[in-house]
């Protein structure tokens, strides 16, 4: 087709042009598809539908294509577009290649084959390129990709420069010229970049590279930040902004980094810098470890994680290192620190030499650990917050090393030089190496334990502590605390030893006879004791009655004495003795009386103190174990072994007798003659008093008894609590209306226990008595006399910390005499004498004679309890009001109040001795009964037959913090 005419394609079909067309009027594609090659399609094309170049061989389309249509490239040949194109329908490359510039190639391209930009000058491709095809950059110019590209075939930069960002540059890039990332924000490039070309980072944003890079042309960071790892960042880097290594695992950056920019290390992994770096923007280590040498690590370093110098040759780090991180020295070479460093994480020397090139080369706030390497102070003074390590050496030169340790550390490195060591801080520093430094050693705080050797004079200040089991060659002057050994051990001083007046010598000792010791040997080999005190720190154990330890031995002699000695246990007494070459410490169980809190404890303690020297067998074990008891434990044991529980026997027996006499008194009250209606004292009334019968000559009665109460303790004795139950019965005969005589018997069984003591006592009482009553008008008097036998038994537990619990069992009998006198006067109230008011006086007396006895079951702590006699003489002054209610079967009621007073001694002593110390007697006192008490009684009775009545009665006593309660119920039958 030739001529100057135009070609228009209309219709929906496809028109294929195969000829060699030369018409000049242009082509319009209005509908459908126009298909051809660069031979058949030429000139200006207005493309509002679809144009297809099916190019089997290379060809060029030089026309300008406009319109809204699409361009499709088919065929294996190359199509070059050299015109100025503005069609907007997009381009599809299905086969072969499409070639052009940013002027010819524009809009979105679906690239499933190959697109080639041959850019001689700068140009921008703003479209979005998709598909499976490749992009190739040719030409010396710069092509800027500003769209969002996702083509998958990879990119080749053969000449010039390809510029974009993480949105337009993606996938694998074969870079043999230049790639520029102009990143305004944060972007991720995950592709792999290879080739001989260079990478330049522009823009204020951050470019993150996560692929594997092998391009050889180097990297320039001109603005923003370039982030990657040792896999994605490699080769020479000109860093004029920021390079960030986010290293999750171990990796090596072998390139050389220059420029004015900074390096930041992120990630938990190890990054090794092995190149020659001279970037000037400083280094920040935020996580993980950054490792290098003085060639690769330089300038200011903000170290908040870990920096490692692996120095195989001599080198100097002149920068300043700050932050919270650690510094580690590896490698056989020498690293000299000449800057002013303030990092706080501590320094570790594991190999080679770390030399201080300035007084501020190591910070004072960090720990120093020497693990096989050497640190050379180079004549500088150094203060560290902790000092530790295994092996290696510390060369002081003329410098002084101060360890201000707060925790406990051990250093086995050998310390050399003419400088000195100062120990401060509250922690413990253990020196276990063979140290040859000759400067002074000062202990101003905490503890210095020499387990190796020191060839230095040692001065211990008032706040210091010196110990260990090694050897000190020099003069030891102690103005603080000397505590040889690490637990129990011997410290050797080859020279002399001086103990100042305000100082302490702390000695650990055990029951096996071992103790801390200081041996002073060599020349002059003397120990000068100018005062101070010895603190004995005894280990738990069973101590012999006397154990003597040598705590100082001086071959050149001992002069002077200590001002005093103490023990860490209140019941382990310490004393000192001297001879010309030794100081001796003696530990003895004792001080029990002095450590008591009560009079009873003091009595037991005095017996223990008296018997310690001769103690043997089980008793020696007991006092030896008590030697290491605490004050409260010792006081509790002195209570437990005192036998104070036995004081309850006498109180229980007296109480049982009084309960029995009260029951008999009720019978005498009920049996008195006189006006039947006026004798309504109804503790136990006979039926005839209720006007249902005439009084009989004989009467038989029986009653059940129950009682309980407590005797208040005090600061010396525990409260006694008791309970009892029993029965009583009797027979009486009325000789005439005024006089009655009778006999009564009873039995009571009870238990008692004492607060603060383990164990319980029991008492069985068997009682018999004769009684008589006389009444004349309104006056009456009565008397009784009796005897009781009491069987007492006790089981008590003894617990001593460190020994097996023991149970002591004791039992004894007690004879008891009983007696009572009572008189009163009955006044009738309310005619015809329906009630009476009777003031009365009663006097009860009893004597208890308890036999001595010896316990069993508690070994040497069994008590031999001495016989004892207990008396009670008690008066009661009171009045009772009696009356009745009802007519068919009247019920008698009574209420009584009174005041009781005890005249006899209320002390309840227990005198005893231990089976293991029979010659050391002691007496303890139990809780004393109240001397005064208020008495209250309530009773009711009624007749159940012509000659039989039943009753119930309550009696209570309250006073002085003590109380007693009794319940009785029974019957009386007359004939």
Each residue's pLDDT tens digit, 791-811:
999 999 999 999 999 999 999
Q: Could you give the C-alpha distances from 286 to 276, 323, 503, 568, in angstroms and in order?
A: 22, 9, 49, 51
Provide the pLDDT for residue 269.
Answer: 98
Q: Compute, in degrees rounded to 10, the torsion defined by CA atoms 274, 275, 278, 279.
A: -80
- Model confidence at 483, in pLDDT bands (50, 70, 90)? very high
How far is Cα of residue 222 from the mean position of the Cα atoms in its chain?
A: 55
User: Is the pLDDT score of 832 beyond 60?
Assistant: no
User: Using CA atoms, how far apart are residues 386 and 403, in angstroms rounded to an integer?
Assistant: 6
45: in domain: no
> Which H/E stretch holds residue 848?
strand 835-850
Domain stop point among 264, 295, 316:
264
> Which H/E stretch holds residue 649?
helix 647-671
Question: Do the beta carbons of residue 479 and residue 532 sit within 8 Å?
Answer: no
Domain that residue 753 falls in: 644-974
73: in domain: no
- Model confidence at 659, in pLDDT bands (50, 70, 90)? confident
- In total, how many domains does the chain have? 2
Nearest 5°: the CA angle 539, 542, 547 is 80
Question: Do the beta carbons of residue 934 and residue 958 sit within 8 Å?
Answer: yes
Q: How many CB atoms lie within 10 A of CB 907?
A: 13
User: Is the pLDDT score of 176 beyond 60?
Assistant: yes
Question: Do the beta carbons of residue 674 and residue 885 sit within 8 Å?
Answer: no
| Residues in a beta bridge with 111 | 93
Provide the pLDDT for residue 947.
Answer: 87
837: in domain: yes
User: Using CA atoms, how far apart are residues 752 and 488, in angstroms rounded to an integer?
Assistant: 50
Pairing relationship of beta strands 453-454 and 173-175 according to DSSP bridges = unpaired
User: Of the candidates 182, 177, 176, which has an alpha carbon nearest to the alpha carbon of residue 207?
Assistant: 182
Provide the pLDDT for residue 831.
Answer: 57
- Model confidence at 673, in pLDDT bands (50, 70, 90)? very low
Annotate 452-474 with DSSP letters as a single string. SEE-S-EEE-TTEEEEESSEEEE
Q: Average per-residue pLDDT in the chain?
A: 94
196: in domain: yes
CA Rg value for the chain:
56
Tokens 């792999």 — which residue? 192
User: Is the pLDDT score of 489 beyond 50?
Assistant: yes
Pairing relationship of beta strands 187-189 and 173-175 according to DSSP bridges = unpaired
594: in domain: no
Give the pLDDT confidence of 855-870 residue by residue, as tens digits.
999 999 999 999 999 9
User: Using CA atoms, how far apart are residues 51 and 459, in angstroms rounded to an integer?
Assistant: 101
Provide the pLDDT for residue 554.
Answer: 99
- Model confidence at 396, in pLDDT bands (50, 70, 90)? very high
Cis peptide before 266 (omega within 30 of 0): no
Largest distance between two CA atoms of the chain: 179
Q: How many CA atoms lie within 13 A of 669 on its CB side?
A: 30
Q: Which contacts (CB < 8 Å, 24+ apart) does range 636-639 have?
A: 637/798, 637/799, 637/800, 637/801, 638/592, 638/596, 638/600, 638/601, 638/604, 638/605, 638/608, 639/598, 639/600, 639/601, 639/604, 639/756, 639/757
User: Using CA atoms, how far apart are residues 109 and 126, in angstroms rounded to an integer?
Assistant: 11
Give the pLDDT confidence of 229-272 residue by residue, as tens digits.
999 999 999 999 999 999 999 999 999 999 999 999 999 999 99
User: Of the candidates 516, 806, 846, which has an alpha carbon nearest to the alpha carbon of residue 661?
Assistant: 846
Question: Do the beta carbons of residue 673 and residue 738 sit within 8 Å?
Answer: yes
Residue 779 is part of a domain; what is its CATH number? Answer: 2.40.128.130
Give the pLDDT confidence of 686-745 residue by residue, as tens digits.
333 444 344 578 999 999 999 999 999 999 999 999 999 999 999 999 999 899 999 999
Provide the pLDDT for residue 657.
Answer: 86
Q: Could you give the C-alpha distances from 761 to 704, 856, 966, in angstroms and in order?
A: 22, 15, 20
CB-neighbour burial class of residue 557 (10 A; exposed 0-12, middle 13-18, buried 19+): middle
User: Using CA atoms, how far apart are residues 665 and 683, in angstroms rounded to an integer?
Assistant: 9
670: in domain: yes
Domain stop point among 212, 242, 264:
264
Q: How many CB atoms lie within 10 A of CB 274?
A: 16
> Which H/E stretch holds residue 302?
strand 301-303
- Model confidence at 672, in pLDDT bands (50, 70, 90)? low
- Secondary structure of residue 760 in the 3-state scheme: strand
Q: How many CA atoms lie within 13 A of 329 on its CB side?
A: 35
Q: What tokens does 303 get? A: 């170290």
Q: How many CA atoms lie within 13 A of 153 on its CB side?
A: 19
> Which H/E stretch holds residue 659?
helix 647-671
Domain stop point among 242, 264, 286:
264
Q: What tokens does 749 get? A: 């069984």
796: in domain: yes
User: Using CA atoms, how far apart are residues 286 and 807, in angstroms rounded to an integer?
Assistant: 69
Tell me what the mean pLDDT of segment 306-334 comes to. 98
242: in domain: yes
- Please say whether the dihedral angle defined by the alpha carbons of residues 372, 375, 376 and 382, taken in this order, is positive or negative: negative
Give the pLDDT confidence of 368-385 residue by residue, as tens digits.
999 999 999 999 999 999
User: Is the pLDDT score of 681 beyond 80?
Assistant: no
User: Using CA atoms, how far apart are residues 863 and 485, in angstroms rounded to an integer?
Assistant: 44
Annotate 783-835 with DSSP letters as a single string. EEEEEEEEEEEEEEEE--TTS--EEEEEEEEEEEEEEEEEEEE-EEETTTT-E
Question: Do the beta carbons of residue 209 and residue 227 sit within 8 Å?
Answer: yes
- Model confidence at 828, in pLDDT bands (50, 70, 90)? confident
How far is Cα of residue 949 from the mean position of the Cα atoms in its chain?
A: 73
User: Is the pLDDT score of 417 beyond 70?
Assistant: yes
User: Is the pLDDT score of 887 beyond 80?
Assistant: no
User: Using CA atoms, how far apart are residues 676 and 698, in angstroms rounded to an integer?
Assistant: 17
């Amino acid at each position: 087709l030739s001529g100057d005419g135009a070609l228009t394609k209309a219709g929906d079909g496809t028109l294929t042009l195969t000829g060699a067309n030369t018409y000049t009027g242009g082509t319009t594609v209005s509908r459908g598809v126009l298909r051809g090659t660069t031979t058949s399609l030429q000139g200006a094309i207005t493309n509002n539908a679809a144009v297809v170049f099916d190019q089997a061989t290379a060809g060029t389309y030089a026309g300008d294509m406009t319109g809204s249509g699409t361009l499709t490239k088919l065929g294996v040949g190359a199509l070059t577009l050299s015109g100025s194109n503005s069609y907007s329908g997009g381009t599809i490359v299905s086969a072969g290649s499409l070639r052009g510039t940013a002027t010819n190639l524009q809009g979105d391209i679906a690239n499933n084959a190959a697109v080639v930009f041959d850019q001689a000058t700068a140009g921008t491709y703003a479209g979005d390129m998709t598909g499976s095809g490749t992009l190739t950059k040719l030409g010396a110019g710069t092509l800027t990709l500003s769209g969002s590209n996702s083509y998958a075939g990879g990119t080749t930069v053969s000449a010039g420069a390809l510029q974009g960002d993480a949105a337009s540059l993606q996938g694998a890039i074969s870079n043999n010229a230049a790639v520029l990332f102009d990143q305004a924000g944060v972007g991720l490039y995950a592709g792999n970049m290879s080739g001989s070309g260079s990478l330049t980072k522009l823009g204020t944003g951050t470019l993150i590279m996560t692929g594997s890079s092998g391009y050889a042309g180097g990297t320039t960071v001109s603005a923003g930040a370039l982030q990657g790892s040792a896999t994605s960042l490699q080769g020479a880097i000109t860093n004029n902004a920021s390079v960030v290594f986010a290293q999750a695992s171990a990796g090596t950056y072998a390139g050389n980094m220059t420029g004015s920019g900074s390096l930041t290390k992120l990630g938990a992994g190890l990054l090794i810098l092995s190149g020659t770096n001279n970037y000037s923007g400083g280094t920040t280590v935020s996580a993980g470890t950054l490792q290098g040498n003085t060639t690769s690590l330089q300038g200011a370093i903000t170290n908040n994680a870990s920096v490692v110098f692996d120095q195989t040759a001599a080198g100097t780090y002149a920068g300043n290192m700050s932050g919270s991180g650690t510094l580690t020295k590896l490698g056989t070479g020498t690293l000299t620190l000449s800057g002013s460093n303030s990092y706080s994480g501590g320094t570790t020397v594991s190999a080679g030499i770390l030399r201080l090139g300035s007084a501020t080369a190591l910070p004072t706030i960090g720990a120093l650990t020497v693990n096989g390497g050497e640190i050379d102070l180079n004549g500088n003074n150094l203060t560290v917050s902790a000092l530790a390590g295994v092996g290696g050496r510390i060369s002081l030169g003329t410098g002084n090393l101060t360890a201000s340790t707060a925790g406990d550390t051990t250093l086995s490195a050998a310390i050399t030089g003419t400088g000195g060591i100062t120990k401060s801080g509250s922690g413990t520093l253990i020196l276990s190496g063979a140290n040859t430094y000759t400067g002074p050693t000062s202990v101003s705080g905490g503890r210095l334990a020499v387990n190796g050797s020191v060839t230095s004079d040692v001065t211990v200040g008032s706040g210091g502590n010196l110990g260990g089991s090694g050897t000190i060659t020099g003069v030891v002057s102690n103005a603080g605390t000397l505590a040889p050994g690490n637990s129990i051990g011997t410290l050797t001083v080859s020279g002399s030893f001086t103990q100042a007046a305000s100082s302490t010598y702390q000695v650990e000792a055990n029951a096996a006879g071992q103790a801390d010791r200081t041996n002073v040997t060599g020349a002059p080999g003397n120990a000068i004791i100018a005062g101070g005190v010895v603190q004995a720190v005894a280990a738990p154990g069973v101590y012999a009655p006397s154990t003597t330890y040598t705590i100082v031995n001086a071959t050149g002699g001992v002069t002077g004495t200590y001002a005093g000695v103490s023990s860490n246990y209140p019941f382990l007494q310490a004393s000192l003795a001297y001879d010309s070459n030794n100081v001796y410490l003696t530990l003895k169980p004792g001080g029990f009386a002095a450590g008591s809190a009560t009079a009873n404890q003091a009595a037991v303690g005095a017996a223990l103190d008296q018997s310690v020297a001769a103690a043997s067998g089980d008793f020696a074990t007991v006092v030896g174990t008590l030697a290491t008891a605490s004050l409260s434990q010792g006081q509790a044991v002195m209570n437990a072994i005192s036998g104070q529980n036995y004081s309850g026997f006498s109180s229980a027996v007296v109480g049982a007798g009084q309960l029995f006499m009260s029951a008999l008194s009720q019978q005498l009250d009920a049996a008195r003659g006189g006006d039947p209606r006026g004798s309504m004292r109804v503790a136990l009334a006979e039926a005839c008093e209720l006007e249902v019968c005439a009084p009989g000559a004989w009467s038989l009665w029986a009653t059940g008894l129950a009682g309980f109460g407590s005797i208040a303790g005090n600061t010396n004795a525990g409260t006694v609590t008791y309970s009892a139950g029993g029965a009583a019965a009797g027979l009486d005969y009325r000789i005439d209306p005024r006089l009655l005589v009778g006999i009564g018997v009873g039995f009571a069984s009870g238990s008692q226990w004492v607060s603060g003591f383990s164990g319980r006592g029991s008492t069985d009482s068997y009682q018999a008595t004769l009684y008589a009553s006389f009444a004349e008008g309104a006056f009456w008097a009565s008397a009784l006399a009796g005897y009781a036998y009491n069987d007492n038994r006790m089981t008590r537990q003894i617990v001593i910390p460190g020994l097996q619990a023991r149970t002591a069992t004791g039992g004894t009998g007690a004879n008891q005499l009983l007696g009572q006198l009572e008189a009163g006067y009955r006044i009738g109230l309310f005619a015809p004498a329906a009630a009476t008011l009777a003031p009365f006086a009663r006097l009860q007396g009893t004597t208890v004679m308890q036999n001595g006895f010896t316990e069993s079951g508690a070994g040497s702590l069994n008590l031999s309890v001495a016989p004892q006699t207990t008396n009670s003489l008690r008066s009661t002054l009171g009045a009772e009001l009696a009356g009745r209610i009802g007519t068919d079967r009247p019920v008698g009621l009574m209420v009584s109040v009174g005041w009781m007073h005890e005249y006899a001694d209320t002390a309840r002593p227990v005198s005893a001795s231990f089976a293991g110390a029979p010659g050391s007697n002691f007496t303890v006192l139990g809780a004393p009964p109240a001397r005064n008490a208020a008495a209250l009684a309530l009773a009711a009775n009624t007749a159940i037959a012509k000659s039989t009545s039943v009753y119930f009665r309550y009696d209570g006593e309250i006073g002085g913090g003590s109380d007693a309660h009794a319940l009785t119920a029974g019957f009386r039958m007359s004939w």
